Amino acid sequence: MRRLATVLCLLTAAVPGVAACAAPQTRPGDGSAVWGTYEAEVSGVTPGPGDRAVTVHVKALAGRDGCSRNVQVGHHEEENGVIFANIVQESAESDTFGACPTFAPAEVTLTSAEPIGDRPLSLNQKTWALKNGAYTRCDENLGCNPPKDRCDPTWTRAAVRGMDVSRHSQGHVEACDGTWLVMTVADDPTSCGAEPRPGCEVNTAVRRYFLRNEPAGWSIVARTTSGGCDAVREAAPAFPRNLCANLEPTARLVTVAPTPPPDLPGG
């Protein structure tokens, strides 16, 4: 959990008449616990009360004394039609692994000077949108209103992000009919860095992925480096042959960064 504020403690034992601060490991309950401010996990949002407020539901840290108190709205601003807010809690145990093994429900009201309407809410860097009277959290890859066309780059890029490849991999769509998707994706196109390091040479595998349209998005049914239909038809006999019959084996991605010439005498 990302800490938003830190309690600063000056150990002043050498200064007469000034009490020293408690050590961070001091247990809550003895009056000297060290509390810090942390993000709270948002579990849901409901409209109201009224048209200028929403109720934010939170999973507050729990399990012992000192886990959570003062769940509240921290930083709050509104711009470009979006309401931004941090939902935070105070804890004296968040930095201790396993000290707060459970959660307890909590609520906090987020208010606006103007009617909220259908403006999206960015809560702790995650966006929530109002649809049919209820708030749902937007997908990190697809956004709040993904296109209906599953062949749209928004959906195919999201498919690549779900693969076991480098986050820099983009993917190349070879075929898409709305039900089936074929694309080639390099394992790591930036093995030598975003700007290839001088003298670096990397031979990276490029694989072909066959995917099927599911309610949640594209789902992988086969992966291969060979051409033709054998790999995908074995995994999914319904896959149409016209999308795979002419596919060639994938070529590897070779990255070669030239080595700079040696310095000449005299500079």
- Beta strands at 3-5 and 53-62: parallel, antiparallel or unpaired: unpaired
Residue 243 has φ and ψ, to the nearest 5°, of -90, -5
Statement: residue 19 has pLDDT above 80: no
What is the reported pLDDT for 33?
A: 73
Q: Which residues pair with 122 in a beta bridge?
A: 84, 127
Backbone dihedral region for residue 84 (phi beyond 0: left; psi -120 to 50: alpha; all else: beta):
beta
Percent of the chain with pLDDT over 70: 83
Residue 49: asked if its preceding bond is cis (omega within 30°), the reply is yes
Mean pLDDT of the chain: 84
CB 90 within 8 A of CB 5: no
Tell me what pLDDT residue 28 has: 47
pLDDT band, very low/low/confident/very high, at 15 (cuts 50, 70, 90): very low
pLDDT of residue 25: 39
CA distance 65 to 90: 12
Whether the pLDDT of residue 148 is over 90: the answer is: yes
Rounded Cα–Cα distance for residues 158 and 162 (Å): 7
Taking the C-alpha atoms of residue 161 and residue 89, their distance in angstroms, rounded to an integer, is: 32
**Whole-structure pTM value:** 0.62
Q: Is 138 helix (H, G, I), strand (E, B) or coil?
A: coil
